Amino acid sequence: MNAPFPRKQQELRLLIAAPRGFCAGVDRAIEIVERAIDQYGPPVYVRHEIVHNRFVVENLRARGAVFVEELDEVPDGAHVIFSAHGVPKSVPTEATERGLEWLDATCPLVSKVHRQAERQIESGRHILFVGHAGHPEVIGTLGQVPEGAITLIETVEDVAGLTFPGDTPLAYLTQTTLSVDDTARIIEAIRERYPQTVAPKAEDICYATSNRQEAVKQIAPRCELVLVIGAPNSSNSQRLVEVALRANTTAKLIQRGSDIEPGWLEGVTTLGITAGASAPEELVREVIDRLREFREVSEEEIVTAREIITFKLPRQLTD
C-alpha cells in the first residue's frame, strides 16, 4: 500500500539562481544537430552525447539523431557531428579519410584552449593541463598535441609530485568546466613550484561555468537545501553541487523533478535551485512544479550576471 501523500506545510521560499542552464556553447551544439537533421534529413549521427543531459539527448534522438561512441559505428556516406566537448585531432582526420560529411559542434571556448595548446607546443613548452581524467573535454584537448607533450594535473598534490627541472619551459591550461576556487589553488601551486610557467592570455574556465558558480555562492548561504539540475557526468553541474556544499548547505544533484523525495523538504524553509550549463529551462520549471506538489511556494530569481554571448554556426548550415 502506498504511503499517504504528505499534507502541505508552510510556504517554501525558492531562490532561483541566474544565470543558470544553457550556455551559448550548448545552445550552439543543439542547434547544429537540429539544423543538420532539418537540412540533411534523419538519421544524423552524433559522436558521444552532444551535451551531457539525458533529456536533451532523448529529444534529439526522437527527431532523428543517432548517438554513437566511435566513428566505426557510423555508416559510409552518413553525416556525423562531434560533440560540444571537443575531440582529438585524429577523429576528424578519420572521418575525412572515410569520406564522411562531418560538422564540429565543439564549443568555441574549448576550441580556444585547443589552439592555445598548439601554440604552446610550437613555442617549445610542455603543457600542464588542469582537468579531470577521462572527461571528454580533457581527452579532446590531450589529443590536440603529440603524445607526451601534456601532463594532466588534477590536484595540488599532483603539482607536488612533478619532477621537471626548475628551468623547464612550461605553460598551463585548464578544462573549461572546473571549480573556480579549486583551480585557483592548483594554479597557485604551479606558480610557486615553477614561477616561469606561462599562463593563458585569458582565463580558460568559461564565463558560463564561472557565472553559475558565483550565482550559487550568492544563494547557498541563504538556503537549507540547494537542488542542482544536471547530469551525473556533467562536470559543471557537479562543481555547482560542490560550491553549495562548501557554503555548509545541503546540496543534491537531480536530473528530473521526479527525483525529488518529499523527505528532503523536512525542515526546509528556503530552497535554492540552479541548473548546469547542459540543462534546459524546461527542467527548472518541472522541478518547481514538482515542489508545488508538496508545498506552497514563492519564487525569487537572484540575478548575479547577465549573459548575452552567442556563437556562430558552422558555415555548412548557414550558406
Tell me the catalytic residues.
137
Residue 1 CB partners (closer than 8 Å, separation 6+):
none
All 3 cell numbers of residue 219? 544563494
φ, ψ for residue 251 (rounded to 5)?
-140, 145
List strands edge to edge, sheet with 44-47.
65-68, 44-47, 79-82, 101-104
All 3 cell numbers of residue 105? 559542434
As a whole number of angstroms, the distance between CA 31 and CA 129 comes to 30
31: nearest Cα among 233, 286, 229, 310:
310
All 3 cell numbers of residue 7? 499534507
List strands edge to edge, sheet with 9-18.
250-254, 225-229, 270-275, 9-18, 295-303
φ, ψ for residue 235 (rounded to 5)?
-60, -45
Contact 130, 172 (CB under 8 A): yes
Query: How many C-beta neighbours within 10 Å does residue 163 have?
Result: 5
